Amino acid sequence: MTKKEKNNNADNETMNKIVSLCKRRGFIFPSSEIYGGFAAVYDYGPYGVELENAVKREWWRTMVRLREDIVGLDSGIFMHPRIWEASGHVAGFSDPLAECRNCHARLRVDHLLEDIGAQADEKMDEKEINEIFNEHKAEVKCPHCGKSDFTGVKKFNLLVKSNLGNFTDDWAKDPAYLRGETCQGIYVNYKNVLDSARVKIPFGIAQIGKAFRNEITARQFIFRTREFEQMEMQYFTSPDKEMEEYEKLRQARWQYYLDLGIREENLKWHKHENLVFYAKEAYDIEYNFPFGFKELEGVHARGDYDLSQHAKFSGKPLDYADPRTGEKYVPHVIESSVGVGRTVLAVLSDAYTEEKVGDEERVVMKFPRKLAPIKVAVFPLLKNKPELVAKAKAIYRDISVDYMCEFDDNGNIGKRYRRQDEIGTPYCVTVDFDTLENPPAGGDVTVRDRDTMKQERIKIEELMDYFKGKNLS
């Protein structure tokens, strides 16, 4: 086995452990499992949805709440079909597909080429990518059956179609699309926001919402799915300020991940060399997933393409009369675009830790505390002592007013700690017999820290102040 193969196996092993923990501990389930599954769709369980909500909350706080110049939006998933013609998605939103002649798996050719180190991407046209694929076909192996026998490459459109509002049998000729990205809802509402909110250029519109793509291959768990959520911000600038604002946005997005608690050594910039014709510059922020550095977020300078296209296709002018200079122009757009699921996977990967504690091994999800699904778990020392259970329940109810909290009286304390470590709960509170005593002898509880595993006695009346200082939300 080569060193690269050994590393790949170790990486896959980590990924498998994360996938298995997510299922076992109620973070993420494969969709429709009792029916045999539904490819490239995942469901978020009780802890997954808390983690997902924390990720969205942090994004919204940074992108909207703390920014005077950015406002929020929630546009519909369905939009006028012409929008997808204007955006270029109907004609050009496609990935290169080839079929393995042996096992009939459908494969993304740019990924197969990337895996053997050949330069290719989804923006290449059919002719271009067929040429590169032909050149390298012999080196490429089907990831499913290992054979090297493929059809030619065809570009496959990723838009998902529906019959919404169309009651004919041949609706597929005139479909309503499920949105392939959320930002089109932002562009077509740009004027509404400008006319109704107290904004002037430069300003941004941010949105979190579902997007759908008919991805050819579902890869790497929630990294690439057919239904996913995006967090996108489109910032409208004057043409002369576009690149200055772009640099500011790049810095802000890097800092955002550090503030989120992602380890900096797991992040890097990737500059796009093969730009679409209208783009001024495009960078991805990549994260070091267990399967290597891959795109987490795109930060792009898009020129005036988006608003110009919508003005052309809708027939409604979208230019801006600058009150400061009297100048008229179509605003330029810089965007930040990231998937919720992809961020969740980065956070899970960053947090997954195996540690030796004495003779035992513990698995602990070291989530940044503000992202942890459960902030505090409360245990009665013994399950069969009603006075301990009643006191623990009362403390649990008090903490729940401010923080996501869990009550657990199953198994022994060691087992409960292990379970809370695996779901990344920063603090566990144990109610014991001393707690039931009045001060000065009692009235306190044991608080155990997830990362240091240190335990300290804290007075019940001081518990909330204690947690307030711990950056839990």
Applying CB under 6 A, which residues contact ligand GAP? 181, 183, 213, 215, 224-225, 228, 230, 232, 295-298, 335, 337-339, 341-342
Q: Which is nearer to ligand GAP, 306 or 432 (CB)?
A: 306
Residue whose CB is less far from ligand GAP, 183 or 445: 183
Task: Return the number of other C-beta atoms located less than 10 Å from residue 357's C-beta.
Answer: 11
- One DSSP character per residue, 236-247 reads EE-GGGHHHHHH
Given the complex with ligand GAP, which of 228 and 305 has the nearer CB atom?
228
Q: How far is CA 421 from CA 400, 416, 455, in A?
A: 19, 9, 14
How many other CB atoms are found less than 10 A from the CB of residue 69?
12
- b/e string for 426-458 if b means 16 or more Cβ within 10 A? bbbbbbbeebeeeeeebbbbbbbebeeeeeeeb
Please name the residue that has the structure tokens 């942890």: 372
Q: Is the dihedral of CA 103, 107, 15, 339 positive or negative?
A: negative
Beta carbon nearer to ligand GAP, 295 or 319: 295
Cβ 230 to ligand GAP shortest distance, Å? 5
b or e along 254-270 (b: 16 or more beta carbons within 10 Å of the residue's beta carbon)? bebbeebbbeeebbeee
Nearer to ligand GAP, 346 or 381 (CB): 346
Least separation, in Å, of the C-beta of 180 and ligand GAP?
Answer: 7
DSSP-based helix, strand, coil % in the chain, nearest 5: 40, 25, 35
State the nearest-atom distance from the C-beta of 95 to ligand GAP, in Å: 10
Distances (CA, A) of 434 to 92, 319, 428: 69, 71, 17
**CA 291 – CA 278 distance, rounded (Å):** 32
Q: How far is the CB of 274 from ligand GAP (least distance, A)?
A: 14
Residue 260 CB partners (closer than 8 Å, separation 6+): 58, 347, 368, 371
Residue closer to ligand GAP by CB (options 112, 216) is 216
Q: Any residues with CB less than 8 A from the CB of 472 and at least 6 apart, and which?
A: 369, 370, 372, 375, 376, 403, 426
* Helix and strand totals (H; E) in the chain: 15, 23
Residue 347's alpha-carbon distances to 14, 22, 47, 352, in angstroms, are: 14, 12, 13, 9
Least separation in angstroms between CB 437 and ligand GAP: 53
Residue (51 or 378) nearer to ligand GAP, CB = 51
The least CB distance from residue 194 to ligand GAP, in Å, is: 20
Residue nearer to ligand GAP on the CB measure, 227 or 322: 227
Q: Which is nearer to ligand GAP, 191 or 342 (CB)?
A: 342
Number of Cβ within 10 Å of residue 65's Cβ equals: 10
**Cβ nearer to ligand GAP, comparing 253 with 369:** 253
Instruction: State the minimum distance, in angstroms, from the CB of residue 48 to ligand GAP.
Output: 15
Minimal distance, residue 205 CB to ligand GAP, in Å: 13
Cβ-proximal residue to ligand GAP, closest one: 339
Q: Give the residue with the Cβ less far from ligand GAP, 52 or 297.
A: 297
Shortest separation between residue 302's beta carbon and ligand GAP, angstroms: 9
Do the Cβ atoms of 237 and 331 come closer than 8 Å? yes
Q: Minimum CB separation from ligand GAP for residue 215, in Å? A: 5
DSSP 65: I
Q: Please, what is the minimum distance in Å from the beta carbon of residue 467 to ligand GAP?
A: 32
Helices (H), 139-241: 183-187, 190-196
